[in-house]
Amino acid sequence: MTRFLLWLAGGVVLGGIIHLVVILTLPRLAEDTISAHIAALDAADRMVILPPVEAGQPNPLGLDPALIYGVCSIDLTAGPAYLNGVLPEAPWSVALFKSDGVVAYSTTNRDGINQTLKLGIFNAAQTRLLAQQTLDVPDGLLVVEADVDQLFALVRLIPPHDVMRPRFAEALSKVTCGPRL
C-alpha cells in the first residue's frame, strides 16, 4: 500500500510539473499573437488606423466595432518616443502595451488632459537623464516610464455618431508617433 501511495504521489508531482511546463511554454510558441498582428501593420513610428470591425467578419484582436483604433509601434532603444496630437471632442483613451499584450500604461482624456495628447515615453535610463535635467521636455508633456523598450500604443476614439467616423479617423491619423515631438 505504501508503495502504491509513493507511485501515486510521484505521478501527481510529475503530472503537475508537465502541466506547468506546457502552460508556461505554449504562449511563447504561438504564432498568431497581438505582436505579430501589429508587426504586419508596418506601424513603426507612425500611427496606423485599423480598419473598422465588420459584423460577422473575423476579429482576431477582439476590437469593439463602435470604436476607432489607431496603433503605433514604439522602440525606445534609440531614445524616447512621443505621441502628439489633438483629438476630437469625444471620449478617447491611449494605452501602451508590452509585446506580450500586457498593459504598461493607460490614460483617458477624462484625466484632465482634455483633447490634446502629449505623451512622452521613456525607459528607465532615459528617465534618469530626464531627472538629471539632461533631456529637455516641453511643458505639458505627460511623462511615462516603461520597463521594456518594445511597446505599441493603442489610441481609441469613441465617435458619438457613425457619420462622424471619417472625421474622427482623419484626426487620429494626424497623431504623430515616434522619436520626435
The SS3 assignment for 13 reads helix
The residue ranges of DSSP E strands in 26-115, in sequence order, are 48-49, 68-75, 81-86, 92-98, 103-108
| Domain identity same for 88 and 114 | yes
| Domain identity same for 98 and 116 | yes
Most confident of 56-60, 79-83, 107-111: 79-83
**19-46 pLDDT per residue, tens:** 888 888 776 665 655 666 666 677 778 8
* Residue 7, domain extent: 1-30
| Domain identity same for 23 and 51 | no
Q: What is the pLDDT of residue 32?
A: 57
Q: What's the domain count of the chain?
A: 2
* 53: CATH: 2.60.40
| Domain identity same for 22 and 80 | no
pTM, rounded to two decimals: 0.75
